[in-house]
Structure 1
Amino acid sequence: MAEARPTLGMLHAEARARLAQAGIEDAALDARLLVEHFTKSSRTDALVRPELEIAAPSVSALDEALARRILGMPVHRIMGQREFYGLTLGLSDETLEPRPDTEILVDLVLGEARQEGGEDRPYRILDLGTGSGAIAIALLSALPSACAIGADISEDALATARRNADMNGVGGRFVGLRSDWFSEIEGRFDFIVSNPPYIREHDWKSLSREVRDFDPRKALVGGVDGLDAYRAIAQGCHGHLATGGRVAVEIGYDQKEAVTRVFKACAFRRATAAKDLAGHNRALIFHAEKTP
């Protein structure tokens, strides 16, 4: 007699128990996400069809995923994707995992775009250190006439960003370009945006293992004081801003004044600041003191 297959309800219960026993902080949420992903089921399925039998390959894949989570791998890295600004973005080894804090930067830029000329204006956007392409793709999804260049030094990241742009229907307006900041950039842009490395060197070891062990270090650490990337951006963007153009950057929670000083030294003035849901300063927009 054939052995009965595990049911969806059984898998949810087992996954929660395994992660909780291993001390995973968000065991219930992580278990649900992993079960849904690897069994291709939904929350509704878990509620109305807990008796649904799951095939052996899915059970095996889930078992391996739970083992990786117990070893510290973030749940979205295991799944290979993450939701950002209502979009699904693929991840790779050399891309940061996009996080809700970065949505604050997208909101800030969209607010400026809508105030300046509306959503249908053909804005040109440059996303420095594009990684998965999260910022550029989110902006393109909301600005149907805009186009964007996503610049990065990592070919792996650029390949991921291009796939994400295609997957989210904006590939025709997105160009991935290998460039060390502005080294290969030509032309002028209405918005130069970036979530640059801003962690201080001495803070690296204090990061959670999910970040320290699985996000690429070069995309996180911004030198001894965390400001190296901001200096590179502030010093290089004057020659690439269109008239009235803006520079928008994500910052660490305590970097508002330090980053403002970096841009002020390069003849920029801070126009707007935005806070995250925890009340921390998270994104800044700057205008050039003089138009190009």
Structure 2
Amino acid sequence: MTSVRTSIAEAARALAVVSPTARLDAELLMAHALGIGREAMILGRLGDPVPDGFAELVERRFRHEPVAYLTGRRAFWTIELMVGPGVLVPRADSETLIEVAVAHFGDRAPRRILDLGTGPGTLLLAALDQWPGATGLGVDASVAALAYARRNAAALGMGDRAELRTGDWTDGIDGRFELILTNPPYIGTQEALPPEVREHEPAEALFAGSDGLDDYRRIVPELPRLLYPGGIAVIEIGSTQAEAVAAMVAGTGLRAAVAQDLAGLSRVVSAVEI
């Protein structure tokens, strides 16, 4: 009998040629095959026999399918989200947006939150979990992404606090928000991407013209009319785009600031009233 422990080690060695997180990938896939959490597996199930389906999951990962698509779930901030083909996989780098928002509000809390390009509800639902008294609006052009967002909102008990709407960035949005979050597409059309991203994640959530700035050009000019006094807009950027996006923000009359992610790369441009 091959044990869970042995099979994880073997799978990690095989996946090392396609993934920089091969051991973690193998553990997550094994836990999924067992139908339990990774921690529970490590603490009490490493001596179990290998479950049916694990080998197929490893083979699919070897073909660059994202782990989140294979398991159907992804942890983000303080929540866990259902994800799958057709939606952008939430990334730890994006937690920087929530960190910036938390630092801005301190002991206060935003009452109304806007998430432009909400995908499976990633930023909106994380913010609503952070501030239980808040309500929010999530907008996305993707019907598939919004279907996941609605399922996630319901599963997290936030269905009555999260309005989810099909839309084209800020078109048709009225009123003001204390917190605006957005992680728009920011990859240039000719930029190189890992196969698991380029071949599996939706292109419309990744690419934004030759320089990756097309969607910022639409979103940023709308921020002054949507941002409530004392609020903040928090925008995810590519690591080389801080200067360009900060200049767009400054051009609207708002004050721009840049924040780094845990890797020390520029990841956020925030905008507040001067």
Does TM-score exceed 0.5, indicating one fold? yes
Q: Deviations over 1:189-231 (max 9, x none)?
A: 111210111112221xx11111111121111112122111111
Quote the Cα distance in structure 1 between the aligned partners of 2:11 and 2:193.
Answer: 26
Q: Report the equivalent of 2:202.
A: 216
Tell me the number of residue pairs that the alignment of Structure 1 and Structure 2 aligns.
273
Q: Deviations over 1:80-130 (max 9, x none)?
A: 111100311111322211111100011101221225xx13x5x11110000
| Structure 2 counterpart of 1:84, from 58, 76, 88 | 76
Q: Deviations over 1:153-181 (max 9, x none)?
A: 01111111111122222222101111101
Q: Is 1:139 the equivalent of 2:127?
A: yes
Q: Report the equivalent of 1:227.
A: 213
- Tell me: CA distance 1:43–1:269, structure 2 relative to 1, closer, same or farther (3 Å): closer
% identity of equivalent residues? 37
Q: Report the equivalent of 1:251.
A: 237
Q: Report the equivalent of 1:282.
A: 267
Residue pair 1:84, 1:99 contacting (<8 A) in 2 also: yes
Q: Report the equivalent of 2:166.
A: 178
SS of aligned partner of 1:172 = coil
Unaligned runs of 5+ residues in structure 2 are none
Which amino acid in 2 is paired with 1:179?
G
Shift of 1:8: 2.8
Which amino acid in 1 is paired with 2:15?
L
Quote the Cα distance in structure 2 between the aligned partners of 1:53 and 1:62.
Answer: 11
1:258-277 aligned within 5 A: 258-270=244-256, 272-277=257-262
1:1-292 aligned within 5 A: 7-20=3-16, 23-41=18-36, 42-46=38-42, 48-53=44-49, 58-59=51-52, 61-114=53-106, 118-119=108-109, 123-203=111-191, 206-270=192-256, 272-289=257-274
- Tell me: CA distance 1:25–1:286, structure 2 relative to 1, closer, same or farther (3 Å): closer
Residue pair 1:110, 1:139 contacting (<8 A) in 2 also: no
Which amino acid in 2 is paired with 1:107?
E
Quote the Cα distance in structure 2 between the aligned partners of 1:135 and 1:179.
Answer: 17
Larger Cα-atom Rg: 1
Which amino acid in 2 is paired with 1:66?
V
SS of aligned partner of 1:190 = strand
TM-score, normalising length: structure 2: 0.91
The two structures, once aligned, show a CA RMSD in angstroms of 2.1
Quote the Cα distance in structure 2 between the aligned partners of 1:198 and 1:262.
Answer: 14
Quote the Cα distance in structure 1 between the aligned partners of 2:18 and 2:267.
Answer: 30
- Tell me: CA distance 1:229–1:71, structure 2 relative to 1, closer, same or farther (3 Å): same
Residue pair 2:246, 2:258 contacting (<8 A) in 1 also: no
- Tell me: CA distance 1:285–1:31, structure 2 relative to 1, closer, same or farther (3 Å): same
Quote the Cα distance in structure 1 between the aligned partners of 2:267 and 2:143.
Answer: 28
SS of aligned partner of 1:202 = coil
Which amino acid in 2 is paired with 1:77?
Y
Quote the Cα distance in structure 1 between the aligned partners of 2:262 and 2:181.
Answer: 21
Residue pair 1:190, 1:245 contacting (<8 A) in 2 also: yes
Residue pair 1:182, 1:237 contacting (<8 A) in 2 also: no
- Tell me: CA distance 1:64–1:184, structure 2 relative to 1, closer, same or farther (3 Å): farther
Unaligned runs of 5+ residues in structure 1 are none
Residue pair 1:189, 1:241 contacting (<8 A) in 2 also: yes
Which amino acid in 2 is paired with 1:163?
R
Residue pair 1:132, 1:157 contacting (<8 A) in 2 also: yes
Quote the Cα distance in structure 2 between the aligned partners of 1:128 and 1:174.
Answer: 13
Shift of 1:47: 5.4
SS of aligned partner of 2:208 = coil
SS of aligned partner of 2:197 = helix
